[in-house]
Amino acid sequence: MNFLTSKRVVTGVVVFLVLLNITLLGFLWRQNSYMRHSSVPSERQFHRQNPFTRPLGLSNLQSATFQQLRREHFRNVQPDMAAIGLLKKQLVEEAMKSQLDSQKIAALSGSIGSRQAAIERELALHFHELYKVCRPEQRDSLKKVLDQIATRRFAERRDRGGFHHPVDRGDRGQCQPTGIDSAPQKQP
């Protein structure tokens, strides 16, 4: 009799665990199929909330125009950004060689600089297009928002690598002599 009782308990536990597994698998399948349908694969960056709408009080038409201008700007600068990425990889590869080729490094750096200048020109033109969309009372707010974005981007680039300029440490750009032949300089 003890055997039958224990067999029933074991069978009941096994059936319960099978049902629990089926329920959990169904839940996971449903959750994954929902996630697949709700995500947009390629243009994720363009479908978030327009960062200018609230601070500038943009109308729906202005907001849509801003989004269109933003898409066009990113399409325009994407080739230069991709080229800069490849040039930076080449620059790192060149720096890791046993024989350093200063001319090649200078050429790569110059090419990166000219492409970065082209991106900055495109950015200025993009800002001007945004300016033209704004009403006169929105233009001061646009300037403030663009200043915040520009200074934040600069700070993020500077802090991304973890390297800090001497000015960031409070040295105000005054370098301390480190060479043998260097004499200590008086500080004003």
The CATH number for 118's domain is 1.20.120.1490
Domain count along the chain? 1
Selection from 121, 113, 82, 117 nearest residue 129 by Cα: 121
Question: Is 48 among the domain residues?
Answer: no
Q: What is the pLDDT of residue 85?
A: 93
Q: What residue has token string 């269109």? A: 68
Question: Is 15 among the domain residues?
Answer: no
Q: What is the pLDDT of residues 118-143, one digit of tens each?
A: 999 998 999 899 889 888 888 888 88
pLDDT at 167 over 80: no
pLDDT at 157 over 60: no
Give the separation between CA 24 and CA 31, rounded to whole angstroms: 10
pTM: 0.55
User: Please, what is the average pLDDT of the chain?
Assistant: 76
Query: Which amino acid, 54?
Result: R
Question: Is 166 among the domain residues?
Answer: no
Q: How confident is the model at residue 38 (pLDDT cuts 50, 70, 90)?
A: low
Question: Is 18 among the domain residues?
Answer: no
Question: Is 168 among the domain residues?
Answer: no
Does the CA dihedral 131-137-138-144 come out positive or negative? positive
Selection from 68, 70, 35, 59 nearest residue 149 by Cα: 70
Question: Is 130 among the domain residues?
Answer: yes
Selection from 147, 2, 25, 59 nearest residue 67 by Cα: 59
Question: Is 124 among the domain residues?
Answer: yes
Q: What residue has token string 């008086």? A: 186
What DSSP string describes 109-143? HHHHHHHHHHHHHHHHHHHHHHHHHS-GGGHHHHH
Give the separation between CA 110 and CA 87, rounded to whole angstroms: 10
Domain of residue 62 covers 56-158
Question: Is 30 among the domain residues?
Answer: no
Q: What is the pLDDT of residue 4?
A: 60
Selection from 170, 152, 171, 169 nearest residue 160 by Cα: 152
